Amino acid sequence: GNFIDDGNLKCYMKCIFVQMTCMSEDGVFDIDTAIAMLPDNLKDIASKALNACKDEKGSDACDTAFKINQCLYKQAPKDYILV
């Protein structure tokens, strides 16, 4: 898991979260929405990772999305998927 500190990547991650409706434009992460959209076979492991990472905060919405993704990878590297 090398996550390059790149503004475009960070904002891409934010855009994906916003499109999935699990993050607001201003960077507030909605864990309930994120968990609700998971397939049943991923809910257990992903819910644990999401709960561990839900309070990650960055300097702006893009950075917050980036930090959440970094945390999710650290929590479950074998199951991490960048959408």
What does the domain layout of the chain look like in residue ranges? 10-75
Task: List pLDDT tens digits, range 30-60.
Answer: 999 999 999 999 888 899 999 999 999 999 9
Q: Which CATH superfamily is domain 10-75 in?
A: Pheromone/general odorant binding protein domain (1.10.238.20)
Instruction: Give dist(CA 19, CA 1) in Å, integer.
Output: 24
The pTM assigned to this predicted structure is 0.92
pLDDT of res. 40: 92
| Residue 57 pLDDT | 98
Asked if the model's pLDDT at residue 26 lies above 90, the reply is: yes
**Inter-CA distances, 24 with 2, 21, 40, 78, Å:** 26, 7, 24, 27
For residue 83, pLDDT beyond 90: no
Please tell me the predicted confidence (pLDDT) of residue 35.
94
